[in-house]
Amino acid sequence: SQLLCKVEVDDKTDCMHEESFDNMMTEQEHSELIEKQKRENIYHKFVENHLVLKQGLVDKKRGLFSRRRMMLLTEGPHLYYVDPVNMVLKGQIPWSRELRPEAKNFHIFYVHTPKRTYYLDDPDGYALEWVKSIQEVWDRYFGTPKVVKK
């Protein structure tokens, strides 16, 4: 990814990856987080070395049935989903600027994409948090760039 430089971090000029920009993370802090994830997150092997921003179990409905999946929102951006019983990557919700999350209530939320709307149910009732996180990632990658002033 593109490196952005001449940004003030703790009073010194530093460089950082574009995707870390909003978090004002340095390149080193970013790779430390990836290393920690590699050590501690059993789902790390599915996310192509991307930093996980949010993860949780959700029921993904398709037709009459639903499948419980570990949903992993990562930098990139990506939305991977894994079968947590068999520990198999089942797919990704394709990201584009047309992707749009929408909450129906505390449990149910949608991820609209040009070809398909994903029907998701958070059994713990954190649908609003999912929508907020996905929207934040949308803003970071597709929103108007922020101007950083000294």
For position 146 contacting ligand 4IP by CB under 6 A, the verdict is no
By beta-carbon proximity to ligand 4IP, the closer residue of 63 and 145 is 63
Residue found under tokens 């929508």: 131
CA-derived radius of gyration, the chain: 17
Q: Which one-letter DSSP state was computed for residue 128?
A: H
By beta-carbon proximity to ligand 4IP, the closer residue of 44 and 60 is 60
- CB–CB of 89/73 below 8 Å? no
By beta-carbon proximity to ligand 4IP, the closer residue of 25 and 120 is 120
**Interacting positions 68-97 with ligand 4IP (CB under 6 A):** 69, 81, 90-91
Residues in a beta bridge with 72: 55, 80
By beta-carbon proximity to ligand 4IP, the closer residue of 10 and 65 is 65
**24-32, 42-50, 63-71, 141-149 -> range binding ligand 4IP (CB under 6 A):** 63-71
For position 50 contacting ligand 4IP by CB under 6 A, the verdict is no
Give the residue, chosen from 60, 74, 80, 127, that forms a contact with ligand 4IP under the rule CB under 6 A. 60
Residues near 58 by beta carbon (within 8 Å), at least 6 away in sequence: 68, 69, 71, 81, 120, 121, 122, 123, 130
Give the residue, chosen from 65, 85, 145, 149, that forms a contact with ligand 4IP under the rule CB under 6 A. 65
For position 112 contacting ligand 4IP by CB under 6 A, the verdict is no
Residues near 45 by beta carbon (within 8 Å), at least 6 away in sequence: none
Residue found under tokens 């949903």: 71
